Amino acid sequence: MALSYRTRKRLSLLVLAVGLPLYIAAAVFAVSLFERPPVWLELAVYLLLGVVWALPLRAVFRGVGQPDPEARD
């Protein structure tokens, strides 16, 4: 199922405005459940979690910054 440009744009804004702050709060909470690891390991975990959230949403964000291909000039 292909999403239209408008739908992808709105969905990407929703993900960035609502989903990403919730994901960040969940990641910080999950890491805080364990004893604090060394700084380099904690940084590696946050870097990994920072990349992992975007992978499933790659199709939503693809091409959103470009002009609408369906718009008439």
Residue 17 lies in a domain: yes
Residue 1 lies in a domain: no
User: Taking residues 26-42, what's their average pLDDT?
Assistant: 91
Q: Is 44 within the bounds of a domain?
A: yes
pLDDT of residue 1: 61
DSSP tag of 2: P
Over the chain, what is the mean pLDDT? 89
Q: Which contacts of 55-59 are long-range, i.e. CB under 8 A and separated by 24 or more positions?
A: 57/12, 57/15, 59/3
Q: Residue 73 pLDDT > 70, yes or no?
A: no
Residues spanned by the domain of 35? 7-59
Q: How confident is the model at residue 28 (pLDDT cuts 50, 70, 90)?
A: very high
pLDDT at 18 over 90: yes
- Total domains in the chain come to 1
